[in-house]
Amino acid sequence: MKFIRYNSVLIVPIAAKTSERTKEKKLKLSKFLSKLFILLCLVACTHNAFVVDKNPNSATTIPKLIHVGVIMDMPFAQNIDGHYSGIAVDIWERIAKINHWQFVYTPLSSNHMESIIDTLASSNNLDVVIGPISVSAARLEKVDFSRPFYLSSIGVITKRNELGIIDIASMLLSKNLLHIIMILILSFAIYLTLLWFFERNKAREGVTINHQYPNLTQRIWLHLFQKKVDYMPITTQGRIIGIFWIIIAAAIFTAINANFTSALTIARYKSSQTTSTLAGLQASKVAGINGQFNVEVAEKNGIMVTKVKDIEEAVELLNSGKVNGIVRDTPVAVEYLRQHNLPQLMLSPVILENDELAFAVKANSPLRHAIDLGITSFQDDDSVEPLCKRYIGEEASHCDI
């Protein structure tokens, strides 16, 4: 920096002072920005720590003894004398064997699915839940799910479309059929009257008077119920009338048969339409177990659902005619009907929604990756399909997603 002497006074140039002030300001600004950056980093770290710790029950290590909740619905899980088996159980035990896990089972009911999910999310009583567990957005907010191990669907259990005595009687008493029967009776009366008019004085020789010509009541009985005709017309007019009667009677009986057959077909069609189409189900009512995902799917499809506590109550409502169906996971429904021997019930062809079944684990649980790896490897080496075939036969392809 150059100084100027003027009248023995040392003068500092103004430009030099300005430059030094600018440098000082830049230095202060740099220090301020550095402190601000450090402060923001601390805030971000604190926020991340808060987010991680927000779910204090989220697992970070695999426990030495894994508590496994088992949803007891076949063909996925069952307990016979302490021995667990089923599609979900077999898959889990293979994964546990590969990873050398120690575990203990806790049997659970699908009637309380939402409370089971809440227990898994908020307590240490369960580490994983296996069985027919549907994946939904609401459940994903609470727990994590593994890779799907079964491609399922949600259907409806209905009654078989069989007509009872009351249904058949109502068809017999239809207006069209009654009109045809009245025409038949009237035609038969006219035929007998005309035959009597032309034949009354022309009895064959050798026929006794008592049996020469039967009265009207006797002739109806012989003609309709005993298939007998003990008198043949003698006159030309009587024979012509007899021929016409045979033709008219054949036409009337054909009309009766056609009317009855068409009424029967229409009645069966209307009965099947109630539960074999989505529109029919929307116009009727079905039962569903409270808290299960399939109830939510049915309501989303516009079907009115009567919520019950268990499947037994739902079957009772269906058999009594208070509902027209039961919404249920298709594989579980098929196995239930088979095990309980309910031939009067069947599965409707209507599929409300396809569904993926998976295992549920705690949020951020390390079990999830190991389970995903196991399920994927089983599906890749085609070993999962023979496993499923033991329980569901030809439907085992649903396991190979």
CA–CA separation, 95 and 16 (whole Å): 78
Pairing relationship of beta strands 65-71 and 102-108 according to DSSP bridges: parallel
The answer to the question of residue 6 being in a domain is no
The pLDDT, as a whole number, for residue 278 is 85
Among 162-171, 202-211, 253-262, 309-318, the least confident range: 202-211
How many domains does one find in the chain? 4
Looking at the structure, tell me whether residues 97 and 186 fall in a common domain: no
The answer to the question of residue 156 being in a domain is no
Looking at the structure, tell me whether residues 24 and 86 fall in a common domain: no
Looking at the structure, tell me whether residues 125 and 70 fall in a common domain: yes
pLDDT (mean) for 220-241 = 67
The answer to the question of residue 116 being in a domain is yes
Looking at the structure, tell me whether residues 171 and 258 fall in a common domain: yes
The answer to the question of residue 312 being in a domain is yes
Looking at the structure, tell me whether residues 394 and 373 fall in a common domain: yes
The answer to the question of residue 264 being in a domain is yes
Looking at the structure, tell me whether residues 39 and 84 fall in a common domain: no
pLDDT of 225 > 90? The answer is no
Domain range for 313 is 276-347
Average pLDDT, the chain: 79
Looking at the structure, tell me whether residues 75 and 97 fall in a common domain: yes
291, 111 Cβ separation under 8 angstroms: yes
Model confidence, pTM: 0.62
Q: pLDDT per residue over 34-48, tens digit each?
A: 666 666 655 555 444
Q: pLDDT per residue over 16-26, tens digit each?
A: 444 555 556 55
The answer to the question of residue 246 being in a domain is yes
The answer to the question of residue 157 being in a domain is no
Among the candidates 202, 234, 269, a domain finishes at: 269
332, 289 Cβ separation under 8 angstroms: no
Among the candidates 235, 250, 269, a domain finishes at: 269
Q: pLDDT per residue over 180-219, tens digit each?
A: 888 888 888 888 788 778 877 765 544 444 454 555 566 6
From the list 361, 358, 372, 360, the residue with the least C-alpha distance to 59 is: 361
